[in-house]
Amino acid sequence: MIYLDLLLGFLRVGCFAFGGAYGAIPLIRDVVLSYGWLDDEALAYMIAVSESTPGPIMVNLATYIGSSQAGLLGAILATTAVVLPSFIVILLITSALRTVLKNSYVQAVLRGLKPCIIGIILATGLYMTASSCISENMLDMKAAIITLILALIMWGTRPILRKKISPITLILIAAILGVIAY
Amino acid sequence: MRVSNRRGQILAELLLTFMKIGFFTFGGGYAMIAVLEDSCVEKRGWITHDEMMDVTVIAESTPGPIAINCATYVGYRQAGLIGAIVATLGIIIPSFLVIYIISMFLDDFLEIEVIANAFNGIRLAVGILILDAAFNMIRKMKQRVFPRIVMVSSFVAMLLIDILAWNFSSISLMLIAAAISLALFVIDEGRMARR
């Protein structure tokens, strides 16, 4: 049943979404691919939309996927499910279990979790970049060149501008390049 | 009567403040910390600067976006469980409405050729943004051997899972890393105790 799938799928995401805005993306990708709700391409569109609209990316993705799979009720269920674990954890911490986080066993678990998440995010970014430059087992030259330009803009302009390009700026530049190239 | 009025006032203020924060912060994550600090610490004095720091640290060790963690915490501090629910709803409602409206039109929208082409470019930017997030985290990571080994091996494992389309979730990978780290700690402690 779709409502139950949405609820369980996004509860799982909410429980393990450590590591900031992008920490949840590999998890959401796991869930949407395994249920067949979105493919990599549609997911990338939605990440871009989430970056360009207000609110945390994880919540935006949950709302979108819930709504596209099962309408308003789906959107409400998925959004609630993705937020619920962190809501409960903070309530527990503020009311009683604040010392839990200082516990050395909990610390040991977090020491393993954090670098693992970084590795997963890195692999997801690399795989998504590489797979969108390849179509039908061939290198898509246009996509590869645009990727190269975007990478240069993202990481090459930093010493010149002394400031980081914001995600929204990069998305806008990418949109313009897309219109020019295709 | 006056007491319940005051409570109602606090709840309304929590709802409106967090709705405003939710509506004007794009991209989420750390961009939100400055806005949260401004609204909750400087303007309203709901929590102290130190508490804000604590919430940030806690947010890093607990699942979920920091904005939601912060809303839950501030709401709970101001008005208990109801306050926590109201503040958390406040921060979610704006993005929920925006995305819900977009979701009804996105498919039609993508059929327009110019938009579809633009999204072909945008798709490529998303990979770069994810990579950038990972690079930032690597830069802030503790420069020790253990986290590096965990990072590199989970990177390789995840890449293999993706390329070979193995049916193995990233959550399982995280659980394995947590278990190994915990096991090493327990062994280490046992050794210390024997000494």
* Mean pLDDT of all residues belonging to chain A: 86
Give the pLDDT of residue B31. 60
Tokens of A67: 């709504």
Give the pLDDT of residue B1. 47
Q: pLDDT confidence of A52, banded at 50, 70, 90?
A: confident
Of the candidates B96, B127, B152, the beta carbon closest to that of A63 is on B96
Smallest CA–CA distance, residue A95 to chain B, in Å, is 9
Smallest CA–CA distance, residue B75 to chain A, in Å, is 10
Question: How many beta-carbon contacts under 8 Å exist across A and B?
Answer: 356
Give the pLDDT of residue A4. 94
| pLDDT (mean) for B144-157 | 93
Tokens 């450590």 locate to A18
In the chain, the amino acid numbered A8 is L
Tokens 């897309």 locate to A178
| Domain-embedded: residue A60 | yes
Smallest CA–CA distance, residue A62 to chain B, in Å, is 9
Of the candidates A30, A60, A119, the beta carbon closest to that of B95 is on A60
Give the pLDDT of residue B140. 81
Give the pLDDT of residue B190. 87
Give the pLDDT of residue B183. 94
A13-24 tens-digit pLDDT: 998 887 666 778
Q: Does the structure show a pLDDT above 60 at B29? A: no
Is A48 in Cβ contact with B119 (below 8 Å)? yes
Q: pLDDT confidence of A118, banded at 50, 70, 90?
A: confident
The answer to whether the CB of B134 falls within 8 A of the CB of B150 is no
The answer to whether the CB of B88 falls within 8 A of the CB of A55 is no
For B26, which DSSP code? B
Q: Which of B71, B52, B138, B12 is nearest to A56 (CA)?
A: B71
* Mean pLDDT of all residues belonging to chain B: 85
Structural domain of residue A50, as residue ranges?
A: 2-104
Higher pLDDT, B29 or A6: A6
A122-181 tens-digit pLDDT: 998 898 889 888 877 788 888 999 999 999 998 988 777 777 777 778 888 988 999 998
Q: Considering only CB atoms, which chain B residues are within 8 Å of A115?
A: 141, 146-148, 150-151, 154, 177
Q: ipTM strictly over 0.90?
A: no
Of the candidates A47, A68, A95, the beta carbon closest to that of B103 is on A68
B77-119 tens-digit pLDDT: 899 999 999 999 999 999 899 889 988 887 787 788 888 888 8
The answer to whether the CB of A108 falls within 8 A of the CB of A33 is no
| Domain-embedded: residue A13 | yes
Report the number of distinct structural domains present in chain A.
1
| Domain-embedded: residue A180 | no
Report the alpha-carbon angle B174-A19-B19, nearest 5: 135
Helix, strand, or coil here: B28?
A: coil
* H or E stretch at A103: none
User: Helices in A36-164 by DSSP H: which ranges?
Assistant: 40-52, 57-95, 104-132, 141-151, 158-161
